Structure 1
Amino acid sequence: MNFAGRLQFRRLMCLMVRQNFASECENAINKQIHLELKSSYDYMAMAYHFDRSDVALPGLYGFFKSASSEEREHAAQLMTYMNKRGGTICLEEIPAPQFKFTTVKAALIEALDMEKTVNESLLALHALANEHSDPHLSDFLETNFLIEQVDAQKQLADYITQIERCEKELGVHIFDNDIKGKDMH
């Protein structure tokens, strides 16, 4: 079977499994996949910034590297879900990170802003699922994403508060050691 034939066969199989899955939800999931992959890419850039020899904060490196992995896993969960529902995954180009932070506090604020953006997008997707009477998608989002987003935002806000208390170099070193080995919720 040639490529066009395989593509036609795949579309037919997707139609067989597709039920109560609005194209608007499919499009929104694709946007969410892109946002999760972009967040993963951004967190990876942050991680390796803190791994540089002139920065040397291994706790923050590990924290942001873990956050990157988590966001990539979220994208994978969404892609698996999309295939289960008979949708088509449409990956897009991911722009290079554009960070301008010069302090740990600024990096944490940037991360919190990213998490809020992801959360807003998930809430909009959840509302869209409800609008289209799609309890499967609503449950999937509630079970796998929404609570975790609140936990991540709380954790980052706590870290920002803690770093504000210790903005001197020794304080940053102590903070970095404190978060070593902790993953993003």
Structure 2
Amino acid sequence: MLRFGFFFCVLLAIGANAEFCYNDVDKACSSMLTSGSQLASCNAKYGHFMDIEPELQSYANAHIETSFDYLLMSTHFGSYEANREGLKGYFRKLSDKAWKEGIEIIKFITKRGGTMNFNQPPRFKPTMAKKSTLALNELNSLARALDTEKQLAEEAFRMYGQALQHSKLDPSVAHYLEEEFIEGQADTIRTLAGHTSDLTKLLRVKDNSLSVFLFDEYLQKTL
């Protein structure tokens, strides 16, 4: 039994790759690894990740809430009353994208040794929070989606700048945000801005109901 305890302590000491983790292992082995001992410093956290961890938690929750918001829009336009299959598919696509990105942020948090806090509220509120998602028409829904994507992009910029502060430098977080969000958000915002501008022009004609129908048909073909 003593041989097994000594061998286990040696394995822990060899596997420890940080000075503070080594100290925890050394203390634990000195007390023969009693059931109450903890290796508090043996985790994947390094740099200044703990300073930006709540921001990433908030950003993940913002994506999850946005995903549900888009899903409601998709359901609304897919109803027999609205019957806009193009907008239904487009908002479902945006919903899936936001959901996937939220999950990826959670994975990155845990990769860096953190935990996900689903009670961490997003730092921004929807620009049209006072109006129900299901009360939005075609143009309003695209405008709201455009504003939401811009807010998500601004949050990514803010966290990117925070991760590059000299006093709290964490290049890993900055690189992750740049690679996974900043470039892709520019494409999404440009596409939404184009759709909003096109539909605005189409609504200026006399028989705009036909224009909206044709625009929805166009969206359906681009999916």
Sort the TM-score into its range (normalised by shorter chain).
0.7 to 0.9
Greater mean deviation of Cα atoms: 25-34 or 124-133 = 124-133
CA contact (8 A) 1:101 1:107 kept: no
Task: Let me know the Cα RMSD of the aligned residues.
Answer: 2.2
The match for 1:37 is: 64
Q: Distance in 2 between matches of 1:117 and 1:21?
A: 25
CA distance in 2, matches of 1:100, 1:53: 14
Return the offset for 1:101.
4.7
Amino acid at match of 1:171: S
Please state whether the residue corresponding to 1:180 is helix, strand or coil.
helix
Question: What are structure 1's unaligned runs of at least 5 residues?
Answer: 1-7
Specify the alignment match of 1:180 in structure 2: 220
Q: Could you list the runs of 5+ residues in structure 2 that have no partner in the other structure?
A: 1-36
Which amino acid is the alignment partner of residue 30 of structure 1?
Answer: Q
Task: Say whether 1:117 aligns with 2:151.
Answer: yes
Mapping of residues 1-185 of structure 1, within 5 Å? 12=40, 15-92=42-119, 98-99=132-133, 101-131=135-165, 132-167=168-203, 168-182=208-222
TM-score, normalization by structure 2:
0.72
Structure 1 length-normalised TM: 0.86
- Determine which structure has greater relative contact order: mean sequence separation of CA pairs < 8 Å that are 6+ residues apart, divided by chain length: 1
Residues matched between the structures, number: 173
Partner Cα separation in structure 2 for residue 149 and residue 64 of structure 1 = 15
Change (3 A) 1:39 1:181: farther
CA distance in structure 2 between the partners assigned to 1:23 and 1:182 by the alignment: 42
Identity %: 22
Verify the 8 A CA contact 1:17 1:84 in the aligned structure 2. Answer: yes
Between the aligned partners of 1:159 and 1:100, the Cα distance in structure 2 is 20
Deviates more, 1:160-169 or 1:134-143: 160-169
**Residues 89/61 of structure 1: CA separation in 2 closer, same or farther (3 Å cut):** same
More helix by proportion, 1 or 2? 1
- 2:34 is aligned to none
Q: In the TM superposition, what whole-angstrom CA distance separates every residue of 1:121-158 from its partner, at most 9, and x where no partner exists?
A: 11111111112211111111110000111111111110
3-state SS of 2:93 partner: helix
Deviations 1:11-67 (A, max 9, x none): 848x42111143221010001011111110110011111011100000100000010
Per-residue CA deviations over 1:60-97 (Å, capped at 9, x if unaligned) read 000000100000000111011001100111013889x7
Provide the C-alpha distance between the structure 2 equivalents of 1:177 and 1:123, rounded to a whole number of angstroms: 35
Q: 1:182 to 1:86 in 2, by over 3 A?
A: farther
